[in-house]
Structures are given as structure tokens and as C-alpha cells.
Amino acid sequence: MKQRNLPGHDPLQSEPLQMTASAEPVPGDTVYVVDAHSLIFQVFHAIGEMTSPRGEPVSAVFGFLRDILFLIEKHTPNYLIAAFDMPGPTFRHDLYDGYKADRGEMPADLVTQIPKIEQMLHAIGVPVIGKPGYEADDILATLARECDERQVRCLLVTGDKDCRQLITKHVAIYNIRKDEEFGSSELYADWGIRPDQVVDFQSLVGDKIDCVPGVPLIGPKIARELLETYGDLDAVLANAANVKGAKRSQNLQEYADDARMSRDLVRLDSAVPIEIDWQLARPGNYDGARIAELCGEFGFRALGERAMALADAKPPEKLESSYEVVESMERLAELVEQMKSADWLSVDTETTSVNPREAELVGISLAWTAGEAYYIPVRSPEGDLKLDAEAVLACLRPVFEDPALRKLGQNLKYDQIVLRTAGVQLRGIAFDTMVASYLLDAGERTHNLDDLAKKYLNHQTTKIDALIGKGKNQKRMDEVPVSAIGHYAAEDADIPLRLMPMLEDRLVEDELDELNSQLEVPLIEALAELEYNGIRVDVPRLEALSAEFGEELQRLEEEIEELAGHPFNIASPKQLAEVLFTELGLPVIKKTKTGPSTDASVLEELASRHPLPAKIIEQRGYAKLKGTYVDALPTMVHPETGRVHASFNQVVAATGRLSSSDPNLQNIPIRTEAGRKIRSAFTSAGEGWSLLAADYSQIELRVLAHFSEDETLCQAFAEGQDIHTLVASQVNGVGMDEVTSEMRRGAKAVNFGIIYGQSPFGLAKSLGISKEEAARFINEYFARYPGVEQFMHQTLADCRRDGYVKTLLGRRRQIAGIRPPTKPKDALFETRPAPLQLNLPERTAVNTVIQGTAADLIKLAMLAIHRRLQEEGLESKMLLQIHDELVFDCPDQELETLRKLVVDEMSQVAELRVPLDVDLKSGTNWANCE
């Protein structure tokens, strides 16, 4: 086996720790080693008869290939190797004639499949390793040891319990049947021992299947006790005379030699002389033609397609790179000097939490030349750090705080908040790969760095799961040794640097570069500011509400139980449906995928027939408010700031809107009385401070008016008329002062329906009128404002032609599925055309232009306000954005200044054909704003 100096973390070494990416595995990589025979027997027995078109048995080939494809697709191993037993005796047979004596010949139906499996592995580029005189397990042991030394994660794909002796910090067994890993904690749960006790344990217990004799009368339970008492096998045998139970004690003495020999049989040899060509073990060396040929021969159709899909995908490339862990202040100072003359600085922080306000710095990664990156650890579980966080930050401060040195990275909003919390400003943010990716394709589900590297660089990055694990055993970044983090962390600075030119080219190509550099990138700092500020929450107020809502809930639940005749879980739609529709015999109004629906609209309809549904609505309302807000919010208050610091996400909503999470502050209740009570718990900073809420009036309708260029609508907005009343008056053909509240309500519904592309059916339902009436209403609207329909047709035509729609600022969203234009019928005979009936993509297209443009406008406003607050040195803080509303915290003496500033910036943000009106409200909390 190749030996080399492994990149360990030796505190005494004087040279900087170099990690050069080569073909060999590095910390963060995962190596899968398949015990081929173990797997082959499993699938051979699990899958019944199965033959190829020629009539040859292929069940094991099929099952094995299926497992390998599953491994590659689901687990994306960085390295994958298959170990085989070789025919002929092994050193174990020399030790013990009886070794595996009972194990019969391999079934003939299986023997013929082994070469086929090897051919298939060859075609999909999985190296096959076998060594005469050794078993596959020994090869697993050898590779496991090598991985362990390299601090590389190794998963042994086997059903053989012997391999449990190989478990370490980096090595685990992988059960492909259950898709579960088996490590030291699972071992302890099963046998109650540590991995280093496995060999002795099995030597005592023996193994019938492998014909390992062991010691009679010693089973797993006694073996565990003995090992716990005495430590190891030798100690157990030495104390055999003292063991409780005469027969047991006697057996231990009598069969001591058997036990010792068993130990030699069980112990795996981790020094098998084999050479691994790691490059060949990286999945990706597919021979597509050969795969097709073999799958054809064996009659694998669906599986063959899966295998071919892998072959067609380009193999991930391992980028040439040289990463260094910085271990001295002298080296850091040298690097800082280099950075000062760099064009760009790529920055990434490693921390203890995904929440930037809670996160503590673990390390910083930096890169300014593609392929070179540096990781500066400032915290390590091994206590061997030579660097102090304060000193590192002080050293980096001049470069971080220099706005002239352009910074780039992945999700820099996060890093900026982390660094600001640690006392350093990250200035000069000029590119963010996550934001760029979002602008290029707002419909993508994620924009994380791993996906970007795969998409643009065809590079498979180190997955964070490989370092910190996942699920309940997930570790924190500061619990992982520096030597294991280094490569992962450095990569996170290097990859953005490599991605930037490619992303920038595409932005230019799609005319998105200005939107990127002038709006979205500068907005990062404004959003970081919002998140850093947070909003104050009145916890005692929420606690009082919790008690109040709790009492209401209890009362309602008792009434519901009374009405239903028995207790049940009201929160379970299934149980509720049982009560409503089976027990009470109420009619099913609509169905969900899984059964009758019990949502609020259904319950409202049922309310006229039975008192229960109304109670359910009321109970649900309180339960929702209590569970989602009243009880949840206090737990999210930051202990030091006493405020809630939500996250404002820039790359989630496909339309260009922001979204908010952890907690979502964009859906705090307002529509009901109980909801407004929750709003009142969001307060200004305290005495002498007020909240100022500024919202755009009817922004989406104004955007629609702008795009439609409709004279009447634009003029109505210019004159400050009530748009719903105006539409009501015109559609109904009555004077403005004759509009009834009923008419206004209808017009309002139409106005909003238009924005969403609503059909007569939908409008009819929301207004409780007939479909015909609704259709008449909509037709009247389009006839009165022809520009609106014209705008919709134009939008659809553009989208059909381009495959995307654009907002005012050129933001794009790809939408497929716009139908060809309907042929205009002969106008002479056309009296009243049916209103536009849009399908989902068409509705989405129209809505995206409007919603997205509104999002553009408020983002521009946020940016302008953010800048002015800074320039004018005001103490006022921007706290929230709720799509058409901004909320500020403001010292009372600044209130008038702020009011003017906010209205000016919000209304002047763009020249539209309509004015942008802004309503201002202020108060001590979010509910009493007037």
C-alpha cells in the first residue's frame, strides 16, 4: 500500500499545514467500501428467480447493481471500492481446519453471476480489490485503517458483524438494507461494548456460521459482563478460576486455547499488501457503451436507464487546489499584506450556529487567488490553537473594514452579521454567489454552494454532513478538529472566487448585472442591518396572552367535546373528519388528497347546519395564534438584546420578494382582534422611542395601472381617489356617491382578482355571487379598462417568446406553459367575449410582473433609506419589511425627520405613470400605530 506523510495536525510541526487536493481522499471526503460477497449473498437470497433473456440467472447481478446505483445516487461517495473474496484457502484455514468448514459451496446459480457482477462493476468504474489468501473483510480492515489515519470518513457496506471491530471515530458500518449507519453508539446499544472489545467479545461468544468455536456457555450477555469486569480476553482467561458459575469457570479454563485461536480467526488483518489507485475509485469513470451492452444482455431496462443516466452525466471534477491552515500570527500578517493588493477578497466564516446572532466564530476562510485558500482557526476542541480570536480579528480588521477592497462570498449577509457581532465590520461587499445564482434563476429550489459548484464547475464539494454529521448526533463546528475542517472551510472561500467570473458573465448576458450590482448586492447590507437590529418583544405581554388564550381554548375544547359527545384530537383533521362526516353525518364539501377537507371554508359552510363547526373555527384560531406566535415568540428572544432577530431571505421567493423566517415576521396577525393583541407585543426600543410603520398604498394596483397605461386608472391614482370605489362606480354605471359598500367590496375583489388572473368561478366563490354575475363583472372591468387586458396579453406574448417574464427593473422569472394565443373570432359576431381564462403558468406570469415590480420598488426604497440613515447619522433603525410596508424604531426627537425621509424616499423611488403614495403610522407598539 502506498504510504505517505499524512496531513495530520501536529502542533509541533513548523511548516504550515498544506493540503493539496490530489486524487487521494482528504478529511471531509467519504469513502465507501463494499464487502461484495456480503452484499451478493444478501441480494441473492432476497430476490427470487430472475433470468436474463438468454435464461441465465441474474438476480444477484440485478440486486447488486441496484445497490451500487443507490449508493452512488443517494450518498454520492467521493470514493467507492468493492472488495472481493478470492478463491482458495486463507491464513485462517492454516490456523484452524474447521474454519468455515460448514459453509457449503456457493450455489451454482450464484457462481455464474460473480463474473457478471465484476464485469458490471468494471463498466461503471468501481475498482474491484481482492487478494489471494485474504478475505474481503481484511481488505475492508486495511482500507478502514488507512481512512482512519487520514481522518477520512469510511463507511463499510457489509452485513458481517466481524467488521464491527473496525469501528472508530471515522469508520462506521453502513447497513444498505436499512440505509442506516452503525457506529460506536449503536454498537454499545447492541452489545454493550466498545469497538476495541469486539474481537475479544466474539472470541468468547463464537460464531456458528463462520465456525468460530468460542467458549461453550458464554453468550453475548456473559461475554459483555466478563469484558466489563476484566477488560480484555487475556484478563478474562487469567481470571477464569474466579468466574461465577462452576461450569462456566471450568469451560473458560478448558477452552482457553480455543478462545485464543478464535481471537486470531476473528481479528481482521489491516495490513493486506494492496495498492489503491484512488483516482480510479472516484465515481465517474463510466463506460456507457459497456453498461448499455451488459444491461441489454441481462435484460435490465429501468435499471439500465438509471445506470446510463449516471454515465451521461459528466463525472465531477476535483479542482486543483492548494489550501493552507494558518497557524501563526506571523504567517497571518504576511497574508494580510498580500490581501491588501488583491483585487477581490473571498470571505467565509465557520461558526457554531446557523443563526448569525447566536453564532460564535470558529474560523475564517479567505481566498484571493483561485485555487488557493487559507483557513484561520480561532477555536478548536483540541486546545492546540496558537491563534487568539481577538488577535486574528485585529489583524484582519484593516482589510475587512476597507470598503475599497471588494469582498465576495456565499451568503455574505450571514458573515457580515457574525463579524459585526464579533466587533468587526465587513465593508465593501461587491459580489455574492448565492444572490447572483438567484437572479439567474429565481425558480431554483436552493442556491447553496454545493449545488453551484456542481452546476457551474462540475465539482463535488465536501458536504458539511461529512464533518458534523446529521440528525441527533450532529456536532457543532467547534467540536470538529481543525485538521478535519481545514479543507472544507478553505473550499468555501475558494469556490466563490472560481464561480464569480462565470456568474458575472451570465448576469451580463441576461442583462441582470445592473440589478445585481446596483440593487441586490447593496441590499445585502441593508438586510444584515435589519437582522442585526431585531425588534423588541414584550415577553410578559405574550405570557399574559398565553394564559388568556389558554383559557379560551380550554372553554372551547370542553364545548366541542360536549357537542361531539366524546373527546378527540381537534388538531387532527382525520379525527375531526370522522366526527363531522361520519358521526354527525354532515355533508362532505370538498376533498383533499387524503380524505374530506375540514378547512375553514368548509367549516363555514357547515356552520349553518350544526353548532360544532363554528366552535372548531374559533378553537383553531386560538390554537394557531397561541402555538405559532404567543408561545413560540418568547423562546426566540435573544438573551442579550431582548429582541427577536428574524432572518430576511433574499433568495427564496421566485417573484423577487423577500421572505422572513426564524421567526417569520411577515405573517404576524392583524386581521382579527386576537391577532392584533399579538401585534401589540412588538414594541419600540423603550421609553422615548416609537415604531414608525410606512406602507405603500395599493402598490400592486398602481403597478398594474402603470403597466396598463390606462388613463382612467392612472388619473384616479393621480387624484388620490379611492380606487375600489371608482371601479365600483364605473363597472356598475353609477356615480361615485351612489356606490354601496356591497359594490365597493365587489370591486375590491375584482381589483385583486385581476392581479392574480382570477376566473369568474373564483370571483363568484370569494364574493358569494353566481358565476354568471362574476363573469359579467369581469367583462365589464376589461371593457372599461382595455389597457389591463392589453397588458396581460403582452405579458403572455413576451413570456411565450422568451420563456421568461421581466419586472420593471429587469428581474426575470422563467415560466413554461404559456399557451398559444387564442384566435381572434370574427369581431362582427362577437358580442361579449368570455373573460380570459388563464392556466396556472399564465396566471403566474402576469402576477410575477406585478408582484415582482412591487418588490423591486420597495427594495429600492429600503436601499435609499438605509443609505440616508447612515449618511445623516440618524439613530433610527429599520426593523422589518412586510412586502409593502417598512417598520422603523425611532427616537421621538427624530420622528418628524424620519417621517419625511421615509415618505420622500419611498415615493420618489421610481417615476411611474402613477404617484406612489405612502401611509405613515406611529406608536409605541405595532398595534397602536396610527
Site residues, DNA (CB under 7 A): 569, 571-575, 592-595, 597-600, 603, 617, 620-621, 623-625, 627-628, 632, 649, 652-655, 657, 659-664, 666-672, 675, 749, 752-753, 756-759, 761-763, 765-766, 837, 840, 843-844, 847-848, 851, 882-885
Q: Tell me the closest approach of the beta carbon of residue 6 to DNA, in angstroms.
A: 34
Q: Kindly state the smallest distance separating residue 866's Cβ from DNA, in Å.
A: 20
Phi, psi (deg, nearest 5) at residue 19: -125, 105
Smallest separation (angstroms) from DNA to the CB of 505: 26
Distance CA 156, CA 83 (A): 10
Distances (CA, A) of 506 to 174, 210, 494: 42, 61, 20
- CB-count burial class (<10 Å; 0-12, 13-18, 19+) for 682: buried
Q: Identify which of residues 77 and 663 has a Cβ nearer to DNA in the complex.
A: 663
Nearer Cβ to DNA (219/627): 627
Nearest distance, CB of residue 705 and DNA, angstroms: 17
Q: Which is nearer to DNA, 483 or 844 (CB)?
A: 844
Q: Rounded to whole angstroms, how far apart are CA atoms 362 and 492?
A: 14
Distance CA(439)–CA(710), nearest Å, equals: 30
Q: Which residue, chain included where needed, has cell 415590480?
A: 853
**Minimum CB distance to DNA smaller for 291 or for 914:** 914
Return d(Cα 177, Cα 71) in angstroms, integer. 11
Query: Which residue lies nearer to DNA by CB, 432 or 700?
Result: 700
Buried b (16+ CB within 10 A) or exposed e, 498-532: bbbeebeebbeebebbebbeebbbbbbbbbbbbbb
Name the minimum Å distance from CB 289 to DNA.
Answer: 35
The answer for 748, left when phi > 0, alpha when psi is -120 to 50, beta otherwise, is alpha
Query: Cβ closer to DNA: 237 or 545?
Result: 545
Between 380 and 848, CB nearer to DNA: 848
Which residue lies nearer to DNA by CB, 120 or 750? 750
Q: State whether the Cα torsion 903-909-911-915 is positive or negative.
A: negative
Residue 575 CB, shortest distance to DNA, in Å, is 5
CA distance 377 to 488: 12
Least distance from DNA to the Cβ atom of residue 750, Å: 9
Which residue lies nearer to DNA by CB, 25 or 757?
A: 757
**Residue 671 beta carbon to DNA: minimum distance, rounded to whole angstroms:** 3
Please tell me the distance from the alpha carbon of residue 626 to that of residue 630, in angstroms, as a whole number. 5
With contact defined as beta carbons under 8 Å apart, do 556 and 620 qualify? no
**Least distance between DNA and beta carbon 668 (Å):** 6
CB 627 → DNA: shortest distance, Å?
Answer: 3
Q: How far is the CB of 682 from DNA (least distance, A)?
A: 12
**Closer of 77 and 753 to DNA (Cβ):** 753
CB neighbour list of residue 414: distance below 8 Å, 6 or more residues apart: 349, 356
**Residues with Cβ within 8 Å of residue 672, at least 6 apart in sequence:** 621
- The residue among 558 and 599 lying less far from DNA, judged by its C-beta, is 599
Tell which residue, 364, 383, 361, 558, has the closest CA to residue 476.
361
Name which of 280 and 617 has its Cβ closer to DNA: 617
Alpha carbon distance 736, 718 (integer Å): 16
Minimum distance from residue 766 beta carbon to DNA (Å)? 3
Q: If DSSP states are collapsed to H, E and C, what string results for 256-317? A: HHHHHHHHHHHCCCCCCCCCCCHHHHCCCCCCHHHHHHHHHHHCCCHHHHHHHHHHHCCCCE
CB of 558 to DNA, least distance (A): 17
Residue 405 C-beta-side C-alpha neighbours within 13 Å = 21
In the bound state with DNA, the residue whose beta carbon lies nearer, of 253 and 837, is 837
